[in-house]
Amino acid sequence: MMKWIDIPPVWLAGFAALAWVQAAHFPAGLSFGGVWADLLGGLLVGGGLVLLALAFAEFRRHRTTIVPHLEADRLIQTGIFRRSRNPIYLGDVLILAGLILRWDAVLSLPLVPILLWIYETRFVIPEENRLRKKFRAEFARYCQKTRRWV
């Protein structure tokens, strides 16, 4: 049961809920400045959703698992995975940053690097270790030509 609760969408939802509560109940009189923050926030959320859609399409095309705790059947190096080894996590972080901007949750800005750190320590590094063991030289070449984030 805990394995299914400890997944990135749950972490993103929890952090987004924290940001929303902060914006709604503890704004502290701070603001990002109105329209530009709404526009940038919308662009970040939209960009994050595009990254997720592109990554999901590659997982579906290659018929391998998207669940972080399971072992991958294939090493995906096509599509958006040519640009980033972790587009889904990057998309989640962009979505959180965009929501924080849209909701004017200034005090919640530290949640963005915290979510990134949680993703890296709980998911990215263990996933890369599993891929390194399973795909060895192929994964090493992939790491040389594709950055972890961008």
pLDDT at 61: 96
Provide the whole-model pTM: 0.95
pLDDT per residue as tens digits for the range 68-92: 888 899 999 999 999 999 999 999 9
pLDDT at 1: 57
Query: Under 8 Å CB-to-CB from 77, ≥6 apart: which residues?
Result: 142, 146
String of b and e for 23-48 (b: at least 16 CB within 10 Å)? beeeeeeeebeeeebbeebeebbebb
pLDDT at 33: 84
pLDDT at 70: 86
Distance CA 34, CA 148 (A): 33
pLDDT per residue as tens digits for the range 101-121: 999 999 999 999 999 999 999
Task: Check whether 50 has a pLDDT greater than 60.
Answer: yes
pLDDT at 69: 83
Residue 75's φ and ψ, nearest 5 degrees, are: -100, 110
Contact 64, 73 (CB under 8 A): yes
Q: Percent of the chain having pLDDT more than 70?
A: 97
User: Pick from 109, 130, 123: which is nearest to 9 by CA?
Assistant: 123
Q: Does an H or E element contain 91, and which?
A: helix 87-103
Task: Check whether 2 has a pLDDT greater than 70.
Answer: no
| Residue extents of the structural domains in the chain | 35-145
pLDDT at 39: 96
pLDDT at 3: 66
End-to-end CA distance of the chain: 33
User: Pick from 12, 28, 11, 25: which is nearest to 106 by CA?
Assistant: 28
